[in-house]
A and B are shown apart, each in its own frame.
Chain A
Amino acid sequence: MALTALPSASAGTGGAVARRPVVTPLWRHVDVLVVAAAAALSATGVVMVYATTKNPLAVAGLNPQATMRKEALFAVIGFGAMCLVALVDYHKYLSWAPVLYAGSILMLLATFAVGHQTLGAQSWIQVGSYQVEPSEVVKVTLVLSLAALLAGRKGQVSGRMLFLVLGLSVVPFLLIYKQDALGSALVLAVVMVGMLLLAGTRGRHMVALVLVAAVGIGAVLQLGVLKQYQKDRLTTFLTAPPGVAPVNSQADPYAATIEYNLDQAKATIADGGLTGKGLFRGPQTNLSYVPNQSTDFIFTAVAEQFGFVGSSLLLALFALLIWRTWRAAMLSRDLAGTLVCIGVLSMLMFQVFENVGMTMGIMPVAGITLPFLSYGGSSMLVDWVAVGLVVNVGMRRYS
Chain B
Amino acid sequence: MSNTSTAEPPSTKLRATAVLVVVVCLFAALLGRLWYLQGIEAQSLSVQQLAGQGILKVFLPAPRGEIFDRNGRLLVGNRIEQVVTVERDSVVSDPGLVGRLAALLGMSPAQVESAVNNLQYSPYQPVPVAEGVSNAVALAVKENQALLPGVSVQAEPVPYYPYGSLAANILGYVSQVTASEYAQLKNVSCGPAVGPCYQPNSQVGQAGVENAFEQYLRGTPGVEELQVDSQGHVLGVVPGSYRPPVPGDDVILSIDLKDQQAAEAALADWLAKARAMVCPDTALQGYHCRAPAASMVVEDPRNGQVLALATNPDYNPVDFIGGISEAKWQAYNNPANNYPLIDRAISTGYAPGSTWKLVTATAMLRYGLRSPYTIYDDTGTYTIGGQVFHDNDNVALGPVDLQQALAESSDTYFYSLGGQFYLQYDYGHHLNGPDPLQQVAAQYGLGDYSGIDLPGEAPGLVPTAQVVAKEHAQYPKAYPDGVWEPGFEVQEAIGQGQDLVTPLQLANAYATFANGGTLYVPQIALEVTSPGTGLAPGAKVLKRFGPQVKGHVPMPSASGRSAMLQGFLGVTSSPQGTAYGAFAGAGFPLSRYPVAGKTGPAQVENLCTTAKCPPGYVPWPMYKQDTSVFTSFAPAYHPRFVVDAIFEQAGYGASVAAPAVEQEYLTLFGLNHQASSPASPGGGH
Residues of A within 8 A of B (CB): 55-56, 59-61, 154-156, 194, 197-200, 242-244, 263-264, 266-274, 283-284, 286-289, 291, 303, 307-308, 311-312, 315, 318-319, 322-323, 326, 329-330, 335, 338, 342, 345, 349, 352-353, 356-357, 360-362
Distance of A319 Cα from B30 Cα, bound (Å): 11
With contact pairs A156-B7, A243-B49, A270-B47 given, residues A326 and B16 touching in the complex (Cβ less than 8 Å): yes
Q: Is the CB of A271 within 8 A of B229?
A: no
Name which of B19-27, B129-137, B635-643 contacts chain A.
B19-27
**CB of B15 within 8 Å of the partner chain:** yes
Specify which of A55, A311, A322 is in contact with B38 (CB 8 Å cutoff).
Answer: A311
B192 / chain A contacts, CB cutoff of 8 Å: none
B667 / chain A contacts, CB cutoff of 8 Å: none
Specify which of A194, A273, A308, A349 is in contact with B26 (CB 8 Å cutoff).
Answer: A349
Q: Residue of A at shortest CB range from B46? A: A243
Question: Beyond A197-B19, A360-B30: 19 further Cβ-contacts under 8 Å?
Answer: A56-B229, A56-B231, A59-B233, A156-B7, A197-B15, A198-B16, A242-B46, A267-B51, A270-B42, A270-B44, A272-B42, A273-B42, A286-B54, A287-B229, A291-B230, A303-B34, A326-B16, A349-B23, A362-B29
9 A-B residue contacts at CB 8 Å? A59-B233, A155-B8, A200-B15, A243-B44, A267-B46, A274-B39, A283-B51, A303-B38, A315-B31
Q: Is the CB of B38 within 8 A of A199?
A: no
Q: Residue of A at shortest CB range from B32? A: A362
Chain B min CB distance to A317 (Å): 11
With contact pairs A243-B44, A349-B26, A357-B33 given, residues A273 and B38 touching in the complex (Cβ less than 8 Å): yes
Bin the interface of chain B by size.
35 or more
B231 / chain A contacts, CB cutoff of 8 Å: 56, 59, 288
Q: Is the CB of A263 within 8 A of B8?
A: no
Distance of A176 Cα from B383 Cα, bound (Å): 109
Q: Residue of B at shortest CB range from A266? A: B37
Q: Is the CB of B41 within 8 A of A266?
A: yes
**CB of B89 within 8 Å of the partner chain:** yes
With contact pairs A154-B8, A267-B51 given, residues A198 and B46 touching in the complex (Cβ less than 8 Å): no
Q: Is the CB of B228 within 8 A of A357?
A: no
Distance of A329 Cα from B12 Cα, bound (Å): 11
Q: Is the CB of B10 within 8 A of A269?
A: no
Specify which of B16, B41, B89, B228 is in contact with A287 (CB 8 Å cutoff).
Answer: B228
Q: Is the CB of A360 within 8 A of B54?
A: no
B38 / chain A contacts, CB cutoff of 8 Å: 269-270, 272-274, 303, 307-308, 311
B183 / chain A contacts, CB cutoff of 8 Å: none
Q: Is the CB of B19 within 8 A of A342?
A: yes
Distance of A200 Cα from B231 Cα, bound (Å): 53
**CB of B235 within 8 Å of the partner chain:** yes
Q: Residue of B at shortest CB range from A241? A: B46
A289 / chain B contacts, CB cutoff of 8 Å: 53-54, 229-230
**CB of B93 within 8 Å of the partner chain:** yes
**CB of B9 within 8 Å of the partner chain:** yes
In residues 221-264 of chain B, which contact A (Cβ within 8 Å)?
A: 227-231, 233, 235
A61 / chain B contacts, CB cutoff of 8 Å: 93
Considering the complex of A and B, which 3 residue pairs feature the smallest CB-CB distances, nearest first? Answer: A243-B46, A155-B9, A287-B54
B9 / chain A contacts, CB cutoff of 8 Å: 154-155, 198-200, 335
B610 / chain A contacts, CB cutoff of 8 Å: none
Distance of A264 Cα from B320 Cα, bound (Å): 45
A266 / chain B contacts, CB cutoff of 8 Å: 37, 41, 47
Distance of A132 Cα from B467 Cα, bound (Å): 89
Distance of A360 Cα from B26 Cα, bound (Å): 13
Chain B min CB distance to A94 (Å): 17
Chain A min CB distance to B42 (Å): 4
Distance of A326 Cα from B19 Cα, bound (Å): 9
Chain A min CB distance to B476 (Å): 55
Q: Is the CB of B54 within 8 A of A284?
A: yes
**CB of B479 within 8 Å of the partner chain:** no
B52 / chain A contacts, CB cutoff of 8 Å: 283
Q: Is the CB of A356 within 8 A of B229?
A: no
Q: Is the CB of B227 within 8 A of A286?
A: yes
Distance of A274 Cα from B20 Cα, bound (Å): 28
Q: Residue of A at shortest CB range from B90? A: A61
With contact pairs A59-B89, A264-B50, A356-B30 given, residues A338 and B12 touching in the complex (Cβ less than 8 Å): yes
Q: Is the CB of B39 within 8 A of A308?
A: yes
Distance of A200 Cα from B9 Cα, bound (Å): 6
In residues 22-74 of chain B, which contact A (Cβ within 8 Å)?
A: 22-23, 26-27, 29-31, 33-35, 37-39, 41-42, 44, 46-47, 49-54
Q: Is the CB of A283 within 8 A of B54?
A: yes
**CB of B3 within 8 Å of the partner chain:** yes
Q: Is the CB of B27 within 8 A of A319?
A: yes
Q: Residue of B at shortest CB range from A330? A: B16
Q: Is the CB of A55 within 8 A of B47?
A: no
Specify which of A287, A311, A360 is in contact with B230 (CB 8 Å cutoff).
Answer: A287
Specify which of A242, A264, A308, A329 is in contact with B35 (CB 8 Å cutoff).
Answer: A308
Distance of A263 Cα from B228 Cα, bound (Å): 19
With contact pairs A271-B42, A357-B30 given, residues A198 and B37 touching in the complex (Cβ less than 8 Å): no
Chain A min CB distance to B205 (Å): 38
Q: Residue of A at shortest CB range from B44? A: A243
Distance of A307 Cα from B46 Cα, bound (Å): 18
Q: Residue of B at shortest CB range from A150? A: B9
Distance of A312 Cα from B228 Cα, bound (Å): 30
Q: Is the CB of A283 within 8 A of B227?
A: yes
Q: Is the CB of A267 within 8 A of B229?
A: no
Q: Residue of B at shortest CB range from A154? A: B9
Specify which of B33, B35, B39, B230 is in contact with A288 (CB 8 Å cutoff).
Answer: B230
Chain B min CB distance to A197 (Å): 5
With contact pairs A197-B15, A267-B51, A362-B33 given, residues A326 and B227 touching in the complex (Cβ less than 8 Å): no
Q: Is the CB of B41 within 8 A of A270?
A: yes
B19 / chain A contacts, CB cutoff of 8 Å: 194, 197-198, 326, 342, 345
With contact pairs A59-B235, A61-B93, A287-B235 given, residues A269 and B54 touching in the complex (Cβ less than 8 Å): no
Q: Is the CB of A242 within 8 A of B23?
A: no
Q: Residue of B at shortest CB range from A326? A: B20
B8 / chain A contacts, CB cutoff of 8 Å: 154-155
Distance of A244 Cα from B45 Cα, bound (Å): 11
B34 / chain A contacts, CB cutoff of 8 Å: 269, 303, 308, 311-312, 315, 360
Q: Is the CB of A55 within 8 A of B229?
A: yes
Specify which of A242, A264, A269 is in contact with B44 (CB 8 Å cutoff).
Answer: A242
Distance of A202 Cα from B161 Cα, bound (Å): 96
In this complex, which of B7, B19, B35 has the most chain A Cβ atoms within 10 angstroms of its Cβ? B19
Chain B min CB distance to A107 (Å): 30
B12 / chain A contacts, CB cutoff of 8 Å: 155, 198, 200, 338
Distance of A360 Cα from B34 Cα, bound (Å): 7
Distance of A360 Cα from B10 Cα, bound (Å): 38
